[in-house]
Structure formats: structure tokens, C-alpha cells
Structure 1
Amino acid sequence: MSDNTFPVYNADTIVNFYRTDVLTGQEAKHFTKSDLTPTPKPEAVQTLYMRVLHLLYRFRPECHSMVPLLENIQNPVYHEGTTAITSVYIRMQQFLTMCLVYDFSLNDLLIPQKQKTLTILSAIMNFLHFRKPRMDIILEKQAKFRADMDRLQVYTKGVKEAEKKIETLMTIPPEQQAEADELAAALSELQATNIHEYQEVDAQNESIAEWKAKIAEKTQKLAQVKVDICNLKEDVGKLTSQIVESPEELKTQMEKLRENVKNIKNSTKETDEHLVELQNMVQSVTHTEAEIQQMFNLLQDLESSMNNTKQRADEHQELTAQYEKKQKELKNLCVEEGQLRRALAMKLDKDSKQNIRMQKKREMKEHHVQDVMGQCNQIHQKREEMANRIQEISRETQQLKAKIQSLRDVCSKETARAQALFDTLSASMDELHRRIQTHIVDLKQDVAKMSASF
């Protein structure tokens, strides 16, 4: 036990395990501790090994006695006794390396020893314990894989429906085409009107600037005239206090001054009237500017919404291209899967034909049993030749097994590669579906905004 990496169980534990988990029916009832201790029975040990191979590889016990090596072999019945033992030995030798047992020999089948047999059975028992949870994990992964494939089909169907909805949303229905044309015509007319109003506003702004300049000049002149009047009043006061003029000259000067004041008042009144008119014009221009600014904001919103719609359409085209690329990769994977299935079907067909051929050979063997019994004396003479041929057959079998192992390695690598491609495809499809959903939500919001603005 110290030399092994697995525990060596006692005979009772081994018997209970193999009776419950490996053997079935009458074999489980008849298998007892006496078959292993004190001296193991070769028939019981061989039966156990055959049942283990059947449990692991679905290789039925009756298949060990067939002669599948050469066609048209002479006297195949003579090989029946050694073929079963040789087949079990070859397959157990290959299997026990996975159980960390490397010293399995032909004597362990023909003349089994107690301790060696218990060690081998303990190794197989340890491997079966290890295999059971791994099989559960593999079954869970297979169920998850099937569920993922079903989900992928559902998602693919949903993507197609979403594409149809997007296409219906992007296309204008015929009954709304006239309304869309009217809106486009109204939009162009509104833009032309806005341009004309902008020109009028610019002209009014220029006239307002001219009027403001004139008002500033007149205001400056009025202030200068007021200053002059004040100076004249002061001068008149000084002069009246100093000089005594004639009443007629004083009257004429006073009349001139009154006329000047009257003219100044009239010009001031006219200036006030012009100022009121200009203020009214400024108010109307301001109101027009507010309306034009509102219309300009609406046009900017409409232009931004149209740009967003164009951007969403470009993103949709990119997503569609990516989706088509992933569809092509999925089709390629399906084609590879179909090729592997056809190869498997051809292999199964070949196995069935080989089984039919073996069945025919068995029938021929049953027909020639009586003839073979008369040739038993010649069997002893040809035994050495048969032994040599058996060795050649064994070498060919080893070569065939090596080729099968290499083919299995290649198949496992291809399977891993296909699994990696499928994982990559699943991740890409999940990302694609997520982006499509977000794109649909954004598109619905943009459509709602456009409809509200219209």
C-alpha cells in the first residue's frame, strides 16, 4: 500500500462493491469472498474484468471470443480458447495504466495471486469512484450544452424578429408617405421663410442702428442747445443788470428767444415721437427674433434627431454584418459536425458489417465442428505454426491499437477546437444580442422623440 497511490481494500469491501456496482443478476449473487481468497479463481477474476470492460467501454463479454483479426483464416475454431484470454489481457493492460497499475501480466488472468488480484481490483475500484462524479459533471455539461443550443435557437429567432421589426420601423408606410412628403415640404418652406425673415431682421437692425445714431446726434445737439440757452440766460441776466435797453429791442429779442424755444420744443417733441416709434419697432423686432430663435431651436432638434437616426442605422448595418459573419461561422461548424456524424455513421456501418461477417463465420464454425473433431491429431502438429501466427496477429493488433490511439488523440484535439469555437461563438452572440437590445431601446426612444417633435 505504501508503494501505491491508492488504498488497497480488504476482500469484504471489494466483494460488496463489485456485487452492487459492477455485477448484475445471477453473477452478483454467485460472486462471494471465496472467489478471491485464499486463492482467486481464474474464471471469477476473468468474469470481473470482462464486466468492468463492459461497464467502461460497452465491450460485451461475448465479443472477446470472436476472431476479428484476419479474414479467411483457416480453422478459426482453434483460436476461440486463446482469443478471449488474449483480448481481455490486451484491453486490461491498456486500461490499468489509467488506474496506475503498470505490472499487469498474463499470469494475473491465468494464475491470479491473492495480493496482486486485490491490488488490481482496488485500483479499478478507486478509478470507478473517481469516474462517477466526473460522469455526473459531464452529464451536467451536456445538459447545459443542449440548453445553450436551444437558447441559441430562441435567440436567433428573436434576432430575426427584431430585424423584421427594425426594418418595418425604418421604412415609411405608404399611407404615411404623403404626410412625410408634406412635412418635408413644410420644413423646406419653413427654412426659406426663416432665411427671408433673417434678412428682414438684419435690414431692420441696420435701420435701428441708423436711427439710434441719429437720436444720439440729436440728443447731443439738444444738450448743447440747452447749455447754450443756459449760457444765454446768464448773459441776458448779466446784461439786463448792467445795460438798460430800449423796450422795443428787448421785445424783439424776447420774441426771437421765444421762437427759438418754441422751435427747440417742437424738435424735441418730434424726436420723442421718433423715439417711441423706434422703441415699438425694437419691441416687434425682439419678438420676431424670439420666434425665429424658437424655430431655429426646433430645426436644430430635428437635425440632431435625424443625425442620431442615421448613426443608429449605421450601427445597425455594422451589427448586421457581424451577425452574418457569425452565422457563416456557425454554418461552417454545422458542416464540420455533419462530416463528423457521417464519419461516425460510416464507422458504425462498418462495425455492423463486420459483426454480420463474424456471425456468418460463427455459423460456418458450427457447421464444421464435426469435421474439426476428426482433425484433432493434426492440430498438435500445427500448434507451433499457429503460435507463430498468433504472435504476428498480436503484433498487428498492437499496431492497429496504436493507430486507433493516434486517431483518438486527433479526434480529441478537433473536439477541443470545436468546443473553443463554440464558446467564442456563444460569447459573441450574447454580446450581439445585448447590443441589439440596447439599440432597439435607443431606436424606440428616438422614434418617440421624432413623433413628439412632428
Structure 2
Amino acid sequence: MTENTFPVYKVDAIVTFFRTEVLTGQEAKHFTKNDLAPSPKPDAVQRLYMRILQLLYRFKPECHYMVSGYTVFHPVCLFCSRRQFLRMCYVYDFSLNDLLAPKVKRTVTILSGIMNYLHFRKQRLDMTMGHQERFREDMDKLQAYSRGTKDAQKKMDKLTTIPPEQQAEARELDSALSDLQTNTMHQYQEVNAINENIAEWKTEMAEKSQKLTQLKVDVATLKENIGKLKSQIVESPEEMKIQMEKMKENVKNIKLAIETADERLVGLQSNVQGVTHSEADIQLIFKLLQDLQSSMNKTQQHQEEAQALVCVYEAQQKELKNHSVEEGQLKRSLGMKMDKESKQHMRRQKKKEIKDQYIEDVLGQCDNVHQKREQIADQIQERDRDSQHLRSQMTNLRDTCSQETEKAQDLFDRLLAALDHFHKRIQNHVVEGNNDIVKMTANF
């Protein structure tokens, strides 16, 4: 005790610590400084040691009162268990006098070592609880990430894979899309060719309309000139005829040109109507192409979402790897702790098996005693039954005997009366015989 590896606390600190951390209820209220100083009370010290063992090793109070093969009474059992425990508190010279006749300095140093060990145990428990909470949080995060990755993988599979029910439709749609693309390309080419032809025809129509307007202007100017010339010039009838014929030829040529232009206009109008019909078809195709474009945009959006999900999946995979590394470290630390705990558990299990074996032996002896007691109780009950039966028989016999005695008493009384009467008669006969004898003797 001269060289301690732990601080020695004051009595007040020790009392407050054990009242708050170890003792409960009425024991904490009644435990005071007077139980330790100036003269420690053995009962209080033994009770405190019992409660410390109960707190640390879950020993029940009755375990300290069970008599083993090497103990004789309760303090010796408590001393054996305390000596094994105090080695962990760096107290190696614990003796039986510290229980039976404790001293102030010794008890204070022993309780200081126990107090230091309990502080250390509390800190380690807090650290292990913190590690367990962080491990639980990491496991929850890992489970959440794994669920998220599984959901993302399922979404990606749903987006990328086509169900077998819709594969035929998808193939048909792909073939229809390819056919529509080829048809639209051909129709675009045809429409471009038609637009070029329409542009050429429009240019020709514009040129011809310009020529017609120019011809109309020329005709109008010619008519004006003819009217002016008619008013100004008086020509010969032959020249007038020649000019009139020329004018008629010019008018015929103009009419023919107008008719040809009208025919061309009708053809152009029919071509324009065909172009309008083709434009309606092109608009329908354009709508279909817009629908295809929207569907392609949607598929592109789905692909972008799938790529984003892939990025998220990769990030979550990295986090999962980090968490798996942390989990491996935690598992290693837990494995170390579990190994230590398993070793301690094995030791405790061996001690527990020894104690259980001893308890089973004691319980077996108790069971044997109980069985013998039950057998003796059964024998006692049988004997009680026999005695009760005998008592009932005795009562019956007593009743019959009383009845027989009454009858015998009556007979005895009668016999006595008869005997008395007979004796009286005998006496009378004897007296009479004696008298007769006397008389006979007198006569003889």
C-alpha cells in the first residue's frame, strides 16, 4: 500500500461517489461518513463491497451466502470474490482483516482503488457506447446507400431494358421509325424538287405576267395610237385593209398567247393544288417528326437521368468503398474487442460453470433432501393414516367394549344377586343342616 498507482481520495469524496454511483434507495441515504471514519463499521464495509460486486459482475446477494467447498461462512466467501476483483484495481494485499476488522487508512485506499477503477470503467463504457453509436450510424448509412444504389440500379435497368411484352412493339416502332425516316427523306427530296419547280414556275409566271401586262399596255397604246391615227390620217382603203389584217393577226397572236398563258395558269393552279396537298401531307409528316423529336428528347432526357444516376451510383460506390474500409477497421477493432470479451467470457463461463456445477450439486443435495423429506412425510402421513385408522378401530372397540361391559355389568349384577340369593339359600340350608345334624347328634 506504500506505492499506489492511483490517487487516494478523501472520505467525503468517496462517500458521495459511492452514494451516487453504487448504492441506491435507503442504503444510499443511510451510508454516511461515520461508516468509514474514524472507525469503519464491518457491516457497512461488507455491504458496500457486496453492492460493488453486484454492480460489476451481477452477483446477487444470496450468492455471497452460499457455502462452497473451501469457505465456511459469509465473510470468507466475500473475501475470496473481493480478492479476485481487487487485483484489477491494483490492490494486491487485500486480507481477511480488511473485512472483519477494517481500518480507516486501509479501507480508504482500497475504496480509492475501486473508485479509480470505476472511473476508468465508466470512461471506457462511454467510449465503447460512442463507437457503437457511430458504427450503428455508419451501418444505417451503408444500408441507406445500398438501398439507394439498388433503387438506382433498378431504375437504370427499367430505363435501359425493354420488357419482353413490349419488345415486339419496340421492334415494330424501330422499323416504323426507320421507314418513316427513309420516307421523310424521300419526301423531303421530293418536296425540295417540287419547291424548286414551283419557284421556277413562279418566276416563269412572273415573267409571263410581266409580258402580258406589257402586251396589254402595248395593246392599249396601240388602240390609242389607232384612234389617234384614225382621227389624224385618212388612208386608202387597201392600206386600211392591210393594217386591219395585220391588226387582226396581232390580235389572234395575242389571244393565242393569252390562251396558252391561261392553259399554263390552269396547269400551274393544278400544280399549286397538288403542292398544297403535298404541303398538308408534309405537315402531317412534320407533326409525326415533331412527335418523334419529342420522344427522342424524352429518351435523351431519360439517358441523361440514367447518366446522372450512374454518376450518383459511382459516387455512392466510392462512399460505399470508404464505408466498407471503415467497416473493416471497425470490424477489426470489434473483432479484437470481441476476442477479449470472448476470452473474458470464457473465463467467466468457466467460473460460472464451476459455480453452476457447485450450485447444481447443492441443488441436487437439496433435491435429495427434499425427496427424502417427502418420503418421510409420506411415511408420516401413512403412519398418521394408520394411527387414525387404529384410533377409529379403538374408538369402535371402546364403544363395543363399553356396550359389552355394560352387558357384562348387568350380567354380573344379576349373577351377584343370584349368587347372593344362592349364598343366602346355602347359608339357610347350612344352618338348617347344622340344626338337623345337631338334632341328629342329639338323638344318637
Which among 112, 115, 118 is matched to residue 89 of structure 1?
A: 112
- Provide closer, same or farther for how the CA distance between residues 170 and 67 of structure 1 changes in structure 2, counting only shifts above 3 A: closer
Which among 177, 188, 198 is matched to residue 188 of structure 2?
A: 198
- Provide closer, same or farther for how the CA distance between residues 142 and 40 of structure 1 changes in structure 2, counting only shifts above 3 A: farther
Which among 65, 74, 99 is matched to residue 83 of structure 2?
A: 65
- Provide closer, same or farther for how the CA distance between residues 257 and 285 of structure 1 changes in structure 2, counting only shifts above 3 A: farther
**Do the aligned residues in 2 keep the contact of 1:19 with 1:29 (CA within 8 Å)?**
yes
Q: 1:303 matched to which residue of 2?
A: 296
Letter in 1 for 2:298: S
Q: 1:318 matched to which residue of 2?
A: 311
Task: State the secondary structure of the residue aligned to 1:66.
Answer: helix
**Do the aligned residues in 2 keep the contact of 1:194 with 1:292 (CA within 8 Å)?**
yes
Q: Distance in 2 between matches of 1:82 and 1:256?
A: 159
**Do the aligned residues in 2 keep the contact of 1:49 with 1:92 (CA within 8 Å)?**
no
Measured after TM superposition, the shift of residue 199 of structure 1 is 1.4
Letter in 2 for 1:201: V
- Provide closer, same or farther for how the CA distance between residues 255 and 285 of structure 1 changes in structure 2, counting only shifts above 3 A: farther
Q: Distance in 2 between matches of 1:82 and 1:33?
A: 18
Q: Distance in 1 between matches of 2:322 and 2:249?
A: 103
Q: 2:197 matched to which residue of 1?
A: 207
**Do the aligned residues in 1 keep the contact of 2:15 with 2:32 (CA within 8 Å)?**
yes
**Do the aligned residues in 1 keep the contact of 2:152 with 2:313 (CA within 8 Å)?**
no
Write out per-residue CA displacement over residues 119-139 of structure 1, whole angstroms, 9 at most, x where no aligned residue: xxxxxxxxx9xx9xxx9xx99
Write out per-residue CA displacement over residues 219-243 of structure 1, whole angstroms, 9 at most, x where no aligned residue: 2222222222233223222222222
Measured after TM superposition, the shift of residue 200 of structure 1 is 1.3
Q: 2:228 matched to which residue of 1?
A: 238
**Higher mean Cα deviation, 153-162 or 42-51?**
42-51
Measured after TM superposition, the shift of residue 95 of structure 1 is 7.3
Q: Distance in 2 between matches of 1:357 and 1:277?
A: 114
Q: Residues 181-196 of structure 1 correspond to what in structure 2 (within 5 A)?
A: 181-196=171-186
Measured after TM superposition, the shift of residue 166 of structure 1 is 4.1
Letter in 2 for 1:340: S
Q: Distance in 1 between matches of 2:232 and 2:350?
A: 160
The reply to whether residue 287 of structure 1 matches residue 310 of structure 2 is no
Letter in 2 for 1:167: D
Measured after TM superposition, the shift of residue 314 of structure 1 is 2.4
Letter in 1 for 2:111: V
**Do the aligned residues in 2 keep the contact of 1:67 with 1:80 (CA within 8 Å)?**
no
Provide the identity percentage.
39
Q: 1:335 matched to which residue of 2?
A: 328
Letter in 1 for 2:249: E
Which among 133, 144, 161 is matched to residue 171 of structure 1?
A: 161
Letter in 1 for 2:236: S
Write out per-residue CA displacement over residues 46-71 of structure 1, whole angstroms, 9 at most, x where no aligned residue: 6798689779977989665338769x
Q: 2:416 matched to which residue of 1?
A: none
Letter in 2 for 1:304: N
Measured after TM superposition, the shift of residue 29 of structure 1 is 7.0
Letter in 1 for 2:112: Y
Letter in 1 for 2:242: T
Measured after TM superposition, the shift of residue 181 of structure 1 is 1.9
**Do the aligned residues in 1 keep the contact of 2:15 with 2:31 (CA within 8 Å)?**
yes
**Do the aligned residues in 2 keep the contact of 1:68 with 1:358 (CA within 8 Å)?**
no
**Do the aligned residues in 2 keep the contact of 1:65 with 1:81 (CA within 8 Å)?**
no
Q: 1:229 matched to which residue of 2?
A: 219
Write out per-residue CA displacement over residues 114-165 of structure 1, whole angstroms, 9 at most, x where no aligned residue: xxxxxxxxxxxxxx9xx9xxx9xx9999789858856864774575356345
Task: State the secondary structure of the residue aligned to 2:23.
Answer: coil
- Provide closer, same or farther for how the CA distance between residues 16 and 257 of structure 1 changes in structure 2, counting only shifts above 3 A: same
- Provide closer, same or farther for how the CA distance between residues 356 and 325 of structure 1 changes in structure 2, counting only shifts above 3 A: closer
Q: So what's the TM-score if we normalise by structure 1?
A: 0.52
**Do the aligned residues in 2 keep the contact of 1:35 with 1:41 (CA within 8 Å)?**
yes
Letter in 1 for 2:167: Q
Q: Which has the larger radius of gyration?
A: 2
**Do the aligned residues in 2 keep the contact of 1:19 with 1:31 (CA within 8 Å)?**
yes
**Do the aligned residues in 2 keep the contact of 1:211 with 1:278 (CA within 8 Å)?**
yes
- Provide closer, same or farther for how the CA distance between residues 90 and 271 of structure 1 changes in structure 2, counting only shifts above 3 A: same
Q: Distance in 2 between matches of 1:31 and 1:82?
A: 18
The reply to whether residue 254 of structure 1 matches residue 244 of structure 2 is yes
Measured after TM superposition, the shift of residue 275 of structure 1 is 2.5
Q: Distance in 2 between matches of 1:232 and 1:290?
A: 49
Q: 1:4 matched to which residue of 2?
A: none
- Provide closer, same or farther for how the CA distance between residues 27 and 257 of structure 1 changes in structure 2, counting only shifts above 3 A: same
Aligned residue pairs total 310
- Provide closer, same or farther for how the CA distance between residues 357 and 89 of structure 1 changes in structure 2, counting only shifts above 3 A: farther
Return the structure number with greater relative CO, CA threshold 8 A, min gap 6. Answer: 1
The reply to whether residue 264 of structure 1 matches residue 287 of structure 2 is no
Q: 2:73 matched to which residue of 1?
A: none
Letter in 2 for 1:284: H
Write out per-residue CA displacement over residues 375-400 of structure 1, whole angstroms, 9 at most, x where no aligned residue: xxxxxxxxxxxxxxxxxxxxxxxxxx
Write out per-residue CA displacement over residues 257-281 of structure 1, whole angstroms, 9 at most, x where no aligned residue: 2332233233223323322432442
Q: Residues 44-123 of structure 1 correspond to what in structure 2 (within 5 A)?
A: 64-66=82-84, 85=107, 86-92=109-115
Q: 1:220 matched to which residue of 2?
A: 210
**Do the aligned residues in 2 keep the contact of 1:20 with 1:28 (CA within 8 Å)?**
yes
**Do the aligned residues in 2 keep the contact of 1:31 with 1:44 (CA within 8 Å)?**
no
**Higher mean Cα deviation, 345-354 or 212-221?**
345-354
Measured after TM superposition, the shift of residue 21 of structure 1 is 7.0
**Do the aligned residues in 2 keep the contact of 1:15 with 1:32 (CA within 8 Å)?**
yes
Task: State the secondary structure of the residue aligned to 1:172.
Answer: coil
- Provide closer, same or farther for how the CA distance between residues 212 and 249 of structure 1 changes in structure 2, counting only shifts above 3 A: same
Q: Distance in 2 between matches of 1:67 and 1:36?
A: 21
Measured after TM superposition, the shift of residue 335 of structure 1 is 2.9
Q: Distance in 2 between matches of 1:268 and 1:309?
A: 63
Q: Distance in 2 between matches of 1:90 and 1:213?
A: 115
